[in-house]
Chain A
Amino acid sequence: MNLTLKIWRQKNANSKGEIVEYPISDISPDISFLEMLDVLNSQLIPAGEEPVAFDHDCREGICGSCSLYINGEAHGPDRRVTTCQLHMRKFKDGDTIFIEPFRANAFPVVKDLVVDRSAFDRIQQAGGFISINTSGNTQDGNAIPISKHAADEAMDAATCIGCGACVASCKNSSAMLFVGAKVSQYALLPQGQVEAADRVQNMVAQMDLEGFGNCTNTGACEVECPKGISLENIARMNRELVKASLKG
């Protein structure tokens, strides 16, 4: 495949970026999108050019490191996959492909296609955990009865890998699908209910502090989420916040 890549290049967080065009040829349709960028970098480096910086780690759709806004969609045109799982067979010979970083003020660009998603870490630190008594008599989690339905729903929410595609896809840069999933995965389980009120209030407060926008229920996040996190989690977070606020 012969392609024209239009890639966002930005030297560092403070510099002004721009779209730069790179023609690339003989790309196998069987390689992944990140491997295609590896091929590009393997051509740029010998030519004395700065390689394109992009985030990646596990390359098997688990870690949530890879990002990229490809032809106007987070993780590209395929569904339920991260960029590392996106294959070049999803494109046609002669295509022009726009590759941009995830855009949101809360996700500032570090370099080229790499963005700082530590806002998600700070939201997690604000309440996305359960406090465990480590005095030596901690109850075995398996000894607590949990319905299959609740366990399944909690697991579905917990599959969120925190990649940020929800924020990137949302016209408002809202992080509510991410926060909704993290609130839900604990709220659905007995171990998480003890701190449920503080959790939702603190996580939502941190989310607002980070400068994410408001959810207007367009549903773009759910469609673009590589793990298929449902909007039900946002509804549950809203209910949890109302409950917590009424408790005072």
Chain B
Amino acid sequence: MSGFLKSSIGRKIAMALSAFFLMVFILQHFAINILSVFNPDLFNEASHFMGNNPLVQFVLQPVLIFGVIFHFVMGFVLEFKNKASRNVSYAVNNGNANSTWMSRNMIYSGGFILIFLVIHFIDFWIPEINTKYVLGDSSGLLADGSDYRYFVELQHKFIPLWRVLLYCAGFVFLSLHLLHGFSSAFQSVGANNKYTQALKGFGKAYAVLIPLGFIVIALFHFFNNSH
């Protein structure tokens, strides 16, 4: 099995498996975030559950962090190896004739997503960890104790225009990444059969609708609460 994970195909399959996990996570993240548009109370309840459930905090969260780091590190490692397999470039190369821009530039869309994720962690994850595990406040309540703090914190984050624009750009790159990545992950694990065309259609819908939904959430809070 160790030989398998050292092989080019083994690494490709490992990339795909981490991608599946991340795509499920994104869907779950979206499902909770969209509650903030329709039902702030339910959003607060869901956020509190996710932030305090031991299974989520101490099993799923470390797996998620490992999955994110693995996906980025392996992505960069494979990219450097692939670049090194052709020392002399073509004088003329017509990539558009045979492949999509998204498929050829996963490293750039992924790189921008990484920048976005660092900012996203600084914005939300690190303050959350600080409140719960450094300051020891797991109540999830505002300072005056009148309500849960999650919805109010979310609203405050989307007041500055620069952050809203940055998040929207991050989601555009996420969409570009998924437009190739969704079906690519299935191909990597060997799933290419009579359902592939339907799967590609579903993948495109996922790649457009989920990031678009995140953009709608960001814009909703920007326009609804700060202006």
- What residues of chain A have their CB less than 8 Å away from a CB belonging to chain B? 6, 8, 19, 69, 71-73, 77, 98, 100, 103-106, 169, 171-174, 176, 201, 204-205, 207-208, 211-220, 223-224, 231-232, 234-239, 241-242, 245, 248
Contact = CB atoms under 8 A, between A and B. Distances in A.
B103 interface: yes
Interface string B90-103: 11111101111001
Contact of B86 (A103, A205, A231): A103
Interface stretch (B57-65, B189-197, B219-227): B189-197
Interface stretch (B5-13, B30-38, B41-49, B151-159): B5-13
B187 A213 contact: no
Given A71-B92, A241-B7, A105 B86 contact: yes
Contact of B9 (A104, A211, A213, A238): A238
B95 A171 contact: yes
Contacts of A169: 98
B103 A218 contact: yes
A69 to B, nearest CB: 6
Contact of A236 (B89, B92, B190): B190
Contact of B3 (A106, A211, A245): A245
B53 interface: no
Given A231-B192, A235-B192, A245-B1, A98 B92 contact: yes
Nearest to B1: A245
B92 A220 contact: no
A117 B50 CA distance: 55
Q: Is the interface of A mostly helix, strand, loop or mixed?
A: mixed
Given A103-B89, A205-B7, A208-B7, A235 B187 contact: yes
Given A71-B92, A73-B98, A223-B99, A217 B180 contact: yes
Nearest to B4: A245
B190 A238 contact: yes
Given A214-B8, A216-B12, 19 more contacts: A69-B90, A71-B92, A71-B94, A72-B93, A72-B94, A72-B97, A73-B98, A103-B86, A105-B87, A171-B95, A174-B85, A204-B7, A213-B86, A214-B82, A216-B103, A217-B180, A218-B103, A218-B180, A237-B9
Contacts of B13: 238, 242
Interface in B68-94: 78, 81-82, 84-94
Contact of A219 (B84, B88, B98): B98
Contacts of A214: 8, 11-12, 78, 81-82
A141 B59 CA distance: 55
Contacts of A213: 8, 81-82, 84-86
Contacts of A232: 192-193
Nearest to A172: B82
Nearest to A246: B1
Given A207-B8, A235-B190, A242-B13, A217 B184 contact: yes
Contacts of B11: 214
B85 A173 contact: yes
Interface centre among B1, B86, B184 (most CB of A within 10 A): B86
A104 B98 contact: no
Interface centre among B85, B100, B193 (most CB of A within 10 A): B85
A215 B85 contact: no
A52 to B, nearest CB: 16
B106 interface: yes
A212 B85 contact: yes
